[in-house]
């Protein structure tokens, strides 16, 4: 199945419906219902590559620690004022059972559209769990990478066509560039699936040079506030226009702000943001075909599922309008 121009996708999470009972990654009837409902919603607004909404977890790291049998620390507060429990690496990391495989298989069984499988990357897992076992940072990151590699292979073998490896922590340790790339390379090496990594906070100019070299097909970046600032005022947009990332990678552009208490954008606003993104990242037709559209991040932070859905709806309307305009040129 081929994708239209400016394919639309999601980054991952969605606000949890009230009925969901979270069991550290385990699927249950409530999370299955949330996945099915969210897939149906995304189909109804014509999203091209769907996500499951991650109703089975509170965060991106704890279910990995639990699946590996690691003990958990007490609750920790995250950068955006949410709470999660860090795992403690107190032994050699080994994947004893699937981590996100069942979730993917269930979601893909509920739709004919492709579903994106979601994994957390080795650098982020190394940062967001304590380490009491490995002597060096290198050993720790490589150990996590080998675990995630096995999970990625299992997803690949079950037919996942898109695998996203989230590395929000890249910005926390930008000086570990080589190790970061090595970790991702271990995970993605030789996979049949199209691979993606999502980057969403930290000092973008510092990590920009790394993005070109990442061993994935697509880089997914948060960009809505810069698109709102415009080329005149945004250093990031100027940097991207000088040396468009689309020369090196497919790029998914976040055009919707997912933060809580940000009202639903108007259609005109989103259309304008998309055109600004094209002005920056699509100097020619080849580059245009490397651009995907999504929101800045998962919608978990939006908190209100009605607003999250309206935001996705307006994004889809805007993309359809831009596609029509571009086709009639
Ligand atoms: Zn993000």
Ligand 1 center from residue 29 Cα (angstroms): 27
Ligand 1 center from residue 329 Cα (angstroms): 34
Q: What is the pLDDT of residues 47-65, one digit of tens each?
A: 999 999 999 998 889 999 9
Cα–Cα distance between 129 and 88 in angstroms, integer? 6
Q: Residue 67 domain-assigned?
A: yes
Q: Residue 181 domain-assigned?
A: yes
Q: How many domains does the chain have?
A: 1
CA dihedral of residues 95, 96, 100, 101 (deg, nearest 10): 110
Q: Residue 5 domain-assigned?
A: no
What's residue 315's pLDDT? 98
What's residue 164's pLDDT? 98
Ligand 1 center from residue 207 Cα (angstroms): 15
What's residue 76's pLDDT? 77
Q: Please check whether residue 117 is in contact with residue 164, taking contact to mean a CB–CB distance below 8 angstroms.
A: yes
What's residue 77's pLDDT? 77
Cα–Cα distance between 72 and 261 in angstroms, integer? 32
What's residue 201's pLDDT? 66
Q: Residue 310 domain-assigned?
A: yes
Ligand 1 center from residue 260 Cα (angstroms): 14
What's residue 56's pLDDT? 96
* Enclosing domain of residue 186: 29-327
| CATH at residue 220 | 3.20.20.210
Q: Please check whether residue 59 is in contact with residue 78, taking contact to mean a CB–CB distance below 8 angstroms.
A: yes
Q: Is 251 helix (H, G, I), strand (E, B) or coil?
A: strand
Ligand 1 center from residue 294 Cα (angstroms): 11
Ligand 1 center from residue 168 Cα (angstroms): 6
Element (H, E) at 154: helix 137-157
Ligand 1 center from residue 134 Cα (angstroms): 28
Give me 217's structure tokens: 């097909």
Ligand 1 center from residue 323 Cα (angstroms): 26
Q: Residue 227 domain-assigned?
A: yes
Q: Is the pTM of this model over 0.85?
A: yes
Q: Residue 21 domain-assigned?
A: no
Q: Residue 141 domain-assigned?
A: yes
Ligand 1 center from residue 295 Cα (angstroms): 9
Which pLDDT tens digits describe the chain residue by residue (329 residues)?
689 999 999 999 999 999 999 999 999 999 999 999 999 999 999 999 999 999 999 888 999 999 999 999 888 776 666 777 899 999 999 999 999 999 999 999 999 999 999 999 999 999 999 999 999 999 999 999 999 999 999 999 999 999 999 988 777 777 888 999 999 999 999 999 999 999 876 677 777 888 888 999 999 999 999 999 999 999 999 999 999 999 999 999 999 999 999 999 999 999 999 999 999 999 999 999 999 999 999 999 998 999 999 999 999 999 999 999 999 88
Q: Residue 10 domain-assigned?
A: no
């Amino acid at each position: 199945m081929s994708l239209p121009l400016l394919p639309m996708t999601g980054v991952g999470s969605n606000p949890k419906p009230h009925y969901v009972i979270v069991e550290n990654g385990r699927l249950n009837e409530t999370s299955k219902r949330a996945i099915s409902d969210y897939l149906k919603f995304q189909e109804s607004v014509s999203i091209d590559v769907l996500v499951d909404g991650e109703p089975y977890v509170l965060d991106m790291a704890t279910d990995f620690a639990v699946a590996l049998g690691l003990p958990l620390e007490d609750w920790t507060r995250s950068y955006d004022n949410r709470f999660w429990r860090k795992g403690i690496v107190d032994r050699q990391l080994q994947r004893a059972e699937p981590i996100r495989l069942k979730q993917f298989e269930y979601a893909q069984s509920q739709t004919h559209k492709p579903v994106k499988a979601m994994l957390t990357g080795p650098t982020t897992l190394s940062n967001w769990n304590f380490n009491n076992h490995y002597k060096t940072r290198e050993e720790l990151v490589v150990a996590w990478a080998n675990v995630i590699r096995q999970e990625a292979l299992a997803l690949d073998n079950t037919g996942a066509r898109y695998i996203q490896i989230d590395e929000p922590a890249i910005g926390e340790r930008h000086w570990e560039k080589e190790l970061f790339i090595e970790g991702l390379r271990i995970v993605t090496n030789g996979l049949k699936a199209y691979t993606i990594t999502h980057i969403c906070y930290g000092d973008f100019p510092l990590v920009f040079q790394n993005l070109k070299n990442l061993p994935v097909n697509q880089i997914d970046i948060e960009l809505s506030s810069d698109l709102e600032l415009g080329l005149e005022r945004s250093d990031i947009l100027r940097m991207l226009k000088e040396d468009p990332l689309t020369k090196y990678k497919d790029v998914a552009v976040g055009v919707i702000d997912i933060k809580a208490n940000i009202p639903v954008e108007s259609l005109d606003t989103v259309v304008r943001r998309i055109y600004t993104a094209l002005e920056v990242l699509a100097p020619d037709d080849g580059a245009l075909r490397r651009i995907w559209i999504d929101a800045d991040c998962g919608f978990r932070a939006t908190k209100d599922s009605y607003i999250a859905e309206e935001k996705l709806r307006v994004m889809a309307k805007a993309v359809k309008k831009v596609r029509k305009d571009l086709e009639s040129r």
